């Protein structure tokens, strides 16, 4: 049996930062002949190891995918994640192994679990030339005509977004997205009592700062990544870049970054709760107990129920 149950062909392990999801995902992959697919928006970048928390030593002999696949200057996005996930997912299943999706980037997780129908839309220079002389009101009317089910009204307020929205709507009328494979996930989530998770975040940040995080960001900048671009890669890179530019001393760097990561973990939890409200079934594991044993129990019950 390729899946862990007859009704599932994908195991998902999610959780907030510092929750221990990588360790659990790797161990489950080891026990069920699996391979890990990362759902982390920063671990795709080569050379961004400490700040993104790759923890590559945890994988051992377990194959992993979507880690270290593009250079830092590359603009990776949810469309490319979904495309690369589907390639890895199909390849792993074809070889008779279990895909194990592990991560905390909510949009990436939902692109898989909700089956976002994403289409890569190239720029249409002919259409853009046709739209160039239209006023904003005329562009808004054009958008409504090509997309009568328009929900995102913010596209009506900005000329550049209007043009892009028209371009996308026009393309999608003639180019249906490729059908998605059938994905039947069993989703596990690691949950910690808030004060315990806060301490785990603080301890991990202190360790990373002591073991090369600042030097990693300095190296990336020396290799040609602008400070402004580094800020795009998340909290660790944003705050360390400010420190290296003299805007924060070492103590302020730690205090402000630590607080920002705590807030980020809260936002991740909010995202996961919203996923549940929108129909994603998540089996929550107690991080302070034995999440591996709990996960194995859930998988065993799911096997007997199917």
**Is 20 within any annotated ligand binding site?**
yes
- Measured distance between the N- and C-terminal CA atoms of the chain, rounded to whole angstroms: 13
Helix axes 291-305, 21-31, angle to 10 degrees: 50
Contact status, residue 67 vs residue 56, Cβ threshold 8 Å: yes
Measured distance CA(206)–CA(200) in Å, rounded: 10
Q: What is the bridge-based pairing of β-strands 98-103 and 64-65?
A: unpaired
* Opening angle at CA 266, ends 229 and 39, nearest 5: 55
**Is 19 within any annotated ligand binding site?**
yes
What sign for the dihedral angle of Cα 112, 113, 114, 115? positive
Q: Which residues of 83-99 are buried (b: 16+ CB within 10 A; e: fewer)?
A: ebbbebbeebbeeebbb
Helix ranges (H only) for the chain are: 21-31, 78-94, 106-113, 125-131, 136-146, 159-174, 194-210, 213-222, 227-232, 235-244, 250-277, 291-305
The tokens for 24 are: 């659990």
**Is 21 within any annotated ligand binding site?**
yes
DSSP single-letter state for residue 114 = T
**Is 5 within any annotated ligand binding site?**
no
Measured distance CA(85)–CA(67) in Å, rounded: 11
Residues of each annotated binding site for ATP: 15-22
Residues of each annotated binding site for substrate: 17-22
Residues of each annotated binding site: 15-22
């Amino acid at each position: 049996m390729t899946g862990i149950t007859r009704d599932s062909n994908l195991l998902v392990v999610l959780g907030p930062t510092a929750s221990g999801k990588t360790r659990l995902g790797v161990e489950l992959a080891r026990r069920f002949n699996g391979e890990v697919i990362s759902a982390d928006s920063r671990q795709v970048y080569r050379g961004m190891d400490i700040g993104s928390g790759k923890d590559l030593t945890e994988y051992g002999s377990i194959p992993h995918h979507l880690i270290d696949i593009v250079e830092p200057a590359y603009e990776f996005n949810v469309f490319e994640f979904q495309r690369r996930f589907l390639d890895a997912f199909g390849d792993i299943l074809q070889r008779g192994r279990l895909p194990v999706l592990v991560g905390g980037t909510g949009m990436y997780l939902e692109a898989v679990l909700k089956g976002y129908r994403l289409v890569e839309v190239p720029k249409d220079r002919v259409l853009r030339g046709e739209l160039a002389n239209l006023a904003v009101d005329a562009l808004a009317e054009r958008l409504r005509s090509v997309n009568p089910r328009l929900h995102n009204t913010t596209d009506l307020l900005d000329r550049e977004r209007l043009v892009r929205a028209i371009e996308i709507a026009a393309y999608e009328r003639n180019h249906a997205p490729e059908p998605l494979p059938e994905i039947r996930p069993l989703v596990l989530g690691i949950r910690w009592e808030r004060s315990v998770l806060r301490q785990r975040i603080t301890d991990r940040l202190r360790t990373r700062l002591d073991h090369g995080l600042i030097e990693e960001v300095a190296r990336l900048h020396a290799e040609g990544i602008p400070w402004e671009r580094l800020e795009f890669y998340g909290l660790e890179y944003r705050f360390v870049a400010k420190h290296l530019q003299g805007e924060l001393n070492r103590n302020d760097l730690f205090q402000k970054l630590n607080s920002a990561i705590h807030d980020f973990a809260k936002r991740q939890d909010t995202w996961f709760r919203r996923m549940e409200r929108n129909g994603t079934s998540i089996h929550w594991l107690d991080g302070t107990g034995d999440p591996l044993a709990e996960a194995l129990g859930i998988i065993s019950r799911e096997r007997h129920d199917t």
